[in-house]
Structure 1
Amino acid sequence: MRKITARQRRMIELLIGVSEGNTAAEIAAATGVSVRTVHREMEDIELVLRGYGLDLIRKSGKGIQVSGPEAGMEKLRMALRDEKPADYSGEDRKVYELCLLLEAEEPVKLFALAHSLKVTVATISYDLDELEPWVKKFGLLLVRRRGYGVEINGSEIDKRRALGRLAAEHLDQSDLVGHAQLNEGRPVFKMLLSTVGQGNLMHVENTLWDMDWSWIAELPEIVYMELLLGLSVTVRRLELGRLIGSSEEHGYPLLSDHRNIAGAEQLVQRLADTLTIEFPRNEMLYIAGLFDRVQDSFSTAGYAYGDMELMEIVYRLTDNVMRRTGISFQSDRTLREGLLEHIDPALKRIREGTRIRNPLLGPIRRDFEYLFEVVRSSVEELELTPRIPDEEIGFLVMHFGASMERLNQLRRSVRAILVCASGLSSSRLLATRLSKEMPQIEILRSISWYEAARLPEEEYDLMISTIDLPLPKDRYIKISPLLTAEEIEQLLSFVQNTTLKNRVPRTSEETASPQREEGALERLQSHKAILEVMVGLLKRFRFHPLDNSGMSLAATLSGMLDKLDGDVVEDHGIVLDRLLERERMASQVIPDTALALFHSRSSHILKSSLTLYRLDQPVVLEGETEVRVILLMLAPRKLSKESLEVLSEISALLLNSELVQLLEERTEAEIRAYLSAELLRFFQNKI
């Protein structure tokens, strides 16, 4: 194979990774160069391809494609895995430098870095200038002194946070847990995997799963991967002797009810036995803190009830897209729920400066060109800060695309499970595409890769994944969420030649009780649960006038808690602290009103409640906003999906000016009647 550069390698990988080609603009965007540079590089790439019996096809309007026999394609893939590039790309250099510096025990000489990367000392110095702001985001300091070298100083906890972010920005889930090998020839790729402890990651994952904790199975996939990476990095750092010092804060929340210390002790003991590594107490407390943070981060997973800023963003975005397209997106509750679940963590990552990765951006822009521009314009109209990148716009387009294609379920014959790494948007888009293109396939549900690895085979006929899985190749088929024409043919062939041949025939009893009837019973149970939640909340709804003259916000909230029924809150002090903390984190004011929604979930809250307070004296919240009416929404930490749905629906109703006016002026009975009617309409739409 001709010697190729890292840039050329990346372009070849892009070209052979798709079946319908890439435009020069898409390749330029993916590799960070100009379109002119792409065309120039294609001359050398064409010579490389010829050595494998492959042709480079350039068609106006269709982009650039690689054509040739599959044997040549496979030979090229194997060569890319084995070939070392002639140089490092600028991005690869920076990842290499960060990995080396975060693991180093002493300063590293600039000359040594330059020699390893085959560049000049001036180039390394320029790289470090660009890396310094990134390092600072984690409370770390990049130290450079002449004759001394360069090092990263800071707490061990901050270094672990930086390593976790570095992995999240440059690795896919397939890289960490699947069998993908395309990148294995890249030294930087191997170095990053080693730095985050990929060698022990599956041992850690299996041990974590063997704990049999129900909350682990409930974690959204992105949160689960953050936890898994955090534990894997911890094991790696312990192997290197990088311990959390006794003087460091171990990150365990001050307001915690210490619910995870016992679990962390159990996990640490099992890991110590499995990996023969000693875990000091500070490390155990650090792991307990990891558990706390991931549980708190998904406490509203699926339904971000109570976050009025987020609710307003979703409402305005949906309305903007609806005005531009004429499609009634506002009536699609599945779209709203999906956007709520997706946008909250996405905005956090963007505001933290995390790089958004969307490997499907090119095909999305090509196949959904009109919708992409509509969503981009609709997002820009929101004037969010910082600016939303195109990679994130692509994910939003998938949500709206799924909503446009959503069809009624037809009777199916093959039961399928979906596994999508890109999240809810890709799974819903793929599900609707499958419903349209292959109605004989019944989509049972979407699951994460770690659930897929443990799902009994008798519970499904076919597993469809958008990523590589840690499973035998005959257990699943990998396709893209966009489901191209070629992939439809591949899927049909897989169903006919693998799925149907391997499927065990159902007994007469199973035939008499088909999957659809089991699903019907589950839906009836879910509907029953939703009704019980709604009726319970409406019966417990109360209105109280509150004389808070001369009282601070804390004293006002305390007075509100005192008026609750005695069986709602177990510990007023902890719940008060959580309410105040949430107000410090984000405003609770309903936009353009004098009404605020205060809400919290805690193990010290015994049952869900909804209570309205009208204050004698306005209280001033963050942003110097005065409010005279407060709606208090409380719920236990552990809630069913149905409870979260109802709370989410009530939060969304607060964007309705009619309800706001009722809360500010009308009686308890009138408010309860309005809520009852709206929740009944919500329930009727579900069935």
Structure 2
Amino acid sequence: MTLSHRHRQILELLLSRNVDVTAGEIAAEINVSTRTVHRELTELEAIISSSGLSLQKKSGKGIQLQGDLQDIEAFKRKLHDAAAIEHSSQDRKLFILCTLLDEDEPVKLFALAHSLRVTIPTITNDLDELESWIQKSNLTLIRRRGYGVGLNGTEMNKRKLIARLARNYLDESDLYGKSARSPSPLVMKLLQLIGKSYFADVEAALWDAEDEGLNKLSESEYTRLLIDISILIARMKQGKVIEANVETETIRRSDLLTHTIEQLSKIVPMEWPEAEIRYLAELLQPEEPHPNQLLPFDELSYMEIVWKLIRRMEERSGVSYSEDRSLRDGLLSHLESALKRLQAGATIRNPLLTQIKRDYEELFEAIRLSVNETITEPAVPDEEIGFLVMHFGASLERQKQLRRNVRAIIVCTSGIGTSKMLAVRLTKELPQIEILGHVSWFEAVHIPEAEYDLIISTVDLPLDDDQYIKLSPLLTKDEAERLRLFIQNVTLQKDNGRDQGAVVRNLKHSTESLHRIRLYVNEIVRIVDGFSVYPLDQSFHSLRETLQVMCEYARQSGYIEDVESIVELLLERERLSSQVIPDTELALFHIRSGRVLEPTLTLFQLKEDLLLDQPVSPGVRHVLLMLGSQELPKESLEVLSEISSYLLLPEMIELLRTGEQSEIKQFLSRELTAFLENKK
């Protein structure tokens, strides 16, 4: 059976649905016109008839694949084995790249053309387009007549390229889930290249280590580490090891490194070269931020995008989205990651896009227009708009939250907005559910069963069927009913009473929560009480001179020990990027240092424009100096970061320009009180 790529897409969609699907839904899912779908369906009827199947078309309802269960299962197996003739240009290039990374010997053009069912000139054109991209990875594409095609470069650079491909073109469901549809040949090849079969063993080794540094990793950082180590194992198994370095610097073998090598040696029973041990040590060493970095470098630029997007949506809908701090935080986290992926050329996939467009048509269109007005580069595809719909949809639903009493944990790999959307949909449809929290997929499988009644996930998990249920983030009526039955027939049949141990754990949780809130309160009171407005009436001849006077004020106020060292750090930070806040008369200078005795926030009002080493628009006469000590508590960092986000609020900007010290303190107190409420 030979099928085009489009035929395969339509068949896989029909096989994955037990309900009628309209031609319009199919068209939206595979990104073609409805007319094209009808033409393809006509061709498909002849193809599937030989397998005992047919297409049932109901006017006004849709299309469904019909046949005996036995025939349908046999057809699924046949479809899995069938080779797709048609590949997209991008898929072809990725397939070629994966093949070159996997092969030790040069690959003939004829072999590539035969595998992809295209002509040799098509492969040649694909290689032309790949060449510059390969060079950016510090690798060289070798092409010689009679030789074939190969990649030349270090093993480390090849591994980095494999990891980059995985991050850009695979999602969490590809990496660890069990998909209802057969993965494409490209996905299968890429999964093989990154050593997916070793994921469970690598994860077990990492979890068994119980390292504090690993526990602090975010889900994306943990997944990246998992991929990198699995690639290491896969390449070593193939004999593709990192080249020995002439430098013989001794490796400091931490407990984590020693333990991980011991565990991984059970998977790769071979002698580990010194170069591979060094490489693994680098992978296990988390990336440290710049030692003098107080706030993330790009935080204000991404926050500006978030505020603009929220304001555009408020203008279009009249909904007070800016009052929803959870929306702001979710958008900031999601957009920063999404825009970086788009800038790197990654493909955004959203399997819920068709349903989102259908169920949230007006919201989708409003966000599409708002994003077009807010983000000019990079181009934002509809798939990403679909994820933003989840964030704003969750914000709309949050107003309807109800009380819950069934302990549940949510696992959702599509982002914060998606998981929150599911949470509020759950509380609306089933108010007896108490959401204990949102966790990552790798945390879910390690949470003791006594701490929850149910796990609700949007992806398959490696857990027993009575421990979790898989739902769509949109929670359809059918899914809500299925969840009710699951709770009645499975969850509540187990021992769901709260034992004395659960009471103790809840009491401990409440105590820890109160302690955490106290820490935030202490930091807020200390920073707001210490805030001051200080006018500088003299003229300055350089930025250094201006900063020296500011830091001298901080020293006399007891916030820093040494003026010159802090000035040098502030100048270094300014050289990295301008501290001027766009479209304002404000600049924010911030660093952390061991010479800072306690966090401080001071507004300096200048008589003349601030002199900067970098060219900026004139008129900057208000400078905020934000200083933090080297070992700053997490709570203090969060409070300072929260304050920095206010610098994009029109009310805050106006207050800093014209307000009195007491008015600015009052504003900070009000906003930080709301911030604190969100932490409870």
TM-score, normalization by structure 2: 0.85
User: Residues 177 and 264 (structure 1 numbering): CA distance in 2 closer, same or farther, change over 3 Å?
Assistant: same
1:631 to 2:624 alignment: yes
Q: Secondary structure at the match of 2:351?
A: coil
Q: For residue 237 of structure 2, what is the aligned residue in structure 1?
A: 239
Deviates more, 1:434-443 or 1:6-15: 6-15
List alignment gaps of at least 5 residues for structure 2.
none
Deviation at 1:149, TM superposition (A): 2.2
Report the Cα distance in structure 1 between the residues aligned to 2:551 and 2:426, rounded to whole angstroms. Answer: 50
Q: For residue 165 of structure 1, what is the aligned residue in structure 2?
A: 164
Q: Percent identity?
A: 44
1:529 to 2:514 alignment: no
1:655 to 2:653 alignment: no
Alignment match of 1:468 (pick from 457, 460, 476): 460
Report the Cα distance in structure 2 between the residues aligned to 1:463 and 1:204, rounded to whole angstroms. Answer: 24
Report the Cα distance in structure 1 between the residues aligned to 2:350 and 2:647, rounded to whole angstroms. Answer: 33
Deviates more, 1:122-131 or 1:656-665: 656-665
Deviation at 1:242, TM superposition (A): 3.9
Q: Secondary structure at the match of 1:385?
A: coil
Q: For residue 589 of structure 1, what is the aligned residue in structure 2?
A: 580
Cα shift readout 1:209-245 (whole Å, capped 9, x = no counterpart)? 2232334334332332122212222333333444445
User: Residues 330 and 495 (structure 1 numbering): CA distance in 2 closer, same or farther, change over 3 Å?
Assistant: same
- Summarize the alignment of residues 557-636 of structure 1 with structure 2, pairs less than 5 Å apart: 564=554, 583=574, 587-600=578-591, 608-614=599-605, 618-620=610-612, 624-625=616-617, 627-635=620-628
Q: Which residue type is aligned with residue 387 of structure 2?
A: F
Do the aligned residues in 2 keep the contact of 1:306 with 1:599 (CA within 8 Å)? no
Q: Secondary structure at the match of 2:610?
A: strand
Deviation at 1:417, TM superposition (A): 0.6
Deviation at 1:465, TM superposition (A): 0.7
Deviation at 1:313, TM superposition (A): 1.0
Q: Which residue type is aligned with residue 372 of structure 1?
A: F
Q: Which residue type is aligned with residue 427 of structure 2?
A: S
User: Residues 178 and 116 (structure 1 numbering): CA distance in 2 closer, same or farther, change over 3 Å?
Assistant: same
User: Residues 505 and 59 (structure 1 numbering): CA distance in 2 closer, same or farther, change over 3 Å?
Assistant: same
Bigger Cα Rg: 2
Report the Cα distance in structure 1 between the residues aligned to 2:140 and 2:594, rounded to whole angstroms. Answer: 39
Do the aligned residues in 1 keep the contact of 2:24 with 2:34 (CA within 8 Å)? yes
User: Residues 373 and 33 (structure 1 numbering): CA distance in 2 closer, same or farther, change over 3 Å?
Assistant: closer
Q: Which residue type is aligned with residue 590 of structure 1?
A: I
Report the Cα distance in structure 1 between the residues aligned to 2:247 and 2:531, rounded to whole angstroms. Answer: 42
Q: Which residue type is aligned with residue 197 of structure 1?
A: G
Report the Cα distance in structure 1 between the residues aligned to 2:425 and 2:127, rounded to whole angstroms. Answer: 46
Deviation at 1:377, TM superposition (A): 0.5
Q: For residue 201 of structure 2, what is the aligned residue in structure 1?
A: 203
Deviates more, 1:83-92 or 1:543-552: 543-552
1:129 to 2:113 alignment: no
Q: For residue 210 of structure 2, what is the aligned residue in structure 1?
A: 212
- Summarize the alignment of residues 351-500 of structure 1 with structure 2, pairs less than 5 Å apart: 351-407=343-399, 409-500=401-492
Cα shift readout 1:180-236 (whole Å, capped 9, x = no counterpart)? 47325x544332212111122222222222232334334332332122212222333
Do the aligned residues in 1 keep the contact of 2:211 with 2:256 (CA within 8 Å)? no
Q: For residue 105 of structure 1, what is the aligned residue in structure 2?
A: 104
Report the Cα distance in structure 1 between the residues aligned to 2:627 and 2:218, rounded to whole angstroms. Answer: 23
Q: Which residue type is aligned with residue 113 of structure 2?
A: A
Do the aligned residues in 2 keep the contact of 1:167 with 1:196 (CA within 8 Å)? yes
Do the aligned residues in 2 keep the contact of 1:305 with 1:644 (CA within 8 Å)? no
Cα shift readout 1:79-125 (whole Å, capped 9, x = no counterpart)? 544x2325352354333211111233343221222233343212322
Report the Cα distance in structure 1 between the residues aligned to 2:252 and 2:175, rounded to whole angstroms. Answer: 26
Report the Cα distance in structure 1 between the residues aligned to 2:551 and 2:50, rounded to whole angstroms. Answer: 75
Deviates more, 1:201-210 or 1:419-428: 201-210
Report the Cα distance in structure 1 between the residues aligned to 2:335 and 2:94, rounded to whole angstroms. Answer: 28
Q: Which residue type is aligned with residue 196 of structure 1?
A: I
Report the Cα distance in structure 2 between the residues aligned to 1:369 and 1:491, rounded to whole angstroms. Answer: 26
Deviation at 1:143, TM superposition (A): 3.6
Q: For residue 253 of structure 1, what is the aligned residue in structure 2?
A: none
Report the Cα distance in structure 1 between the residues aligned to 2:658 and 2:269, rounded to whole angstroms. Answer: 66
Q: For residue 256 of structure 1, what is the aligned residue in structure 2?
A: none
Q: For residue 336 of structure 2, what is the aligned residue in structure 1?
A: 344
User: Residues 39 and 522 (structure 1 numbering): CA distance in 2 closer, same or farther, change over 3 Å?
Assistant: farther
Q: For residue 538 of structure 1, what is the aligned residue in structure 2?
A: 528
Deviation at 1:39, TM superposition (A): 2.4
Q: Secondary structure at the match of 1:654?
A: helix
Q: How many residues align?
A: 673
Deviation at 1:605, TM superposition (A): 7.1
Report the Cα distance in structure 2 between the residues aligned to 1:663 and 1:476, rounded to whole angstroms. Answer: 51
Do the aligned residues in 2 keep the contact of 1:261 with 1:285 (CA within 8 Å)? no
Deviation at 1:357, TM superposition (A): 1.5
Report the Cα distance in structure 1 between the residues aligned to 2:650 and 2:253, rounded to whole angstroms. Answer: 45
Q: Secondary structure at the match of 1:150?
A: strand
Q: Which residue type is aligned with residue 122 of structure 2?
A: T
Report the Cα distance in structure 2 between the residues aligned to 1:331 and 1:561, rounded to whole angstroms. Answer: 36
Q: Secondary structure at the match of 1:501?
A: coil
Report the Cα distance in structure 1 between the residues aligned to 2:270 and 2:302, rounded to whole angstroms. Answer: 43
1:56 to 2:49 alignment: no
Do the aligned residues in 2 keep the contact of 1:467 with 1:478 (CA within 8 Å)? yes
Q: Which residue type is aligned with residue 208 of structure 2?
A: D
Report the Cα distance in structure 2 between the residues aligned to 1:381 and 1:261, rounded to whole angstroms. Answer: 52
What is the root-mean-square deviation of aligned Cα atoms in Å? 4.1
Q: Secondary structure at the match of 2:141?
A: strand
Q: Which residue type is aligned with residue 234 of structure 2?
A: R
Deviation at 1:398, TM superposition (A): 0.5
Report the Cα distance in structure 1 between the residues aligned to 2:587 and 2:13, rounded to whole angstroms. Answer: 49
User: Residues 365 and 226 (structure 1 numbering): CA distance in 2 closer, same or farther, change over 3 Å?
Assistant: same
Report the Cα distance in structure 2 between the residues aligned to 1:74 and 1:583, rounded to whole angstroms. Answer: 64
Q: For residue 190 of structure 1, what is the aligned residue in structure 2?
A: 188
Do the aligned residues in 1 keep the contact of 2:410 with 2:437 (CA within 8 Å)? yes
Deviation at 1:488, TM superposition (A): 1.6
TM-score, normalization by structure 1: 0.84
Cα shift readout 1:521-578 (whole Å, capped 9, x = no counterpart)? 555444333212211222343556678944456x866776676569978999998887
Q: For residue 671 of structure 2, what is the aligned residue in structure 1?
A: 678
Report the Cα distance in structure 1 between the residues aligned to 2:79 and 2:597, rounded to whole angstroms. Answer: 58
- Summarize the alignment of residues 203-282 of structure 1 with structure 2, pairs less than 5 Å apart: 203-245=201-243, 262=254, 265-266=257-258, 269-271=261-263, 273-274=265-266, 275-280=268-273, 282=275
Cα shift readout 1:23-78 (whole Å, capped 9, x = no counterpart)? 54554455455544432222343456567776535566765444677776655545
1:308 to 2:300 alignment: yes
User: Residues 370 and 662 (structure 1 numbering): CA distance in 2 closer, same or farther, change over 3 Å?
Assistant: closer
Q: For residue 639 of structure 2, what is the aligned residue in structure 1?
A: 646
Do the aligned residues in 2 keep the contact of 1:313 with 1:382 (CA within 8 Å)? yes
Deviation at 1:321, TM superposition (A): 0.7
Q: Secondary structure at the match of 2:612?
A: strand
Q: Which residue type is aligned with residue 518 of structure 2?
A: K
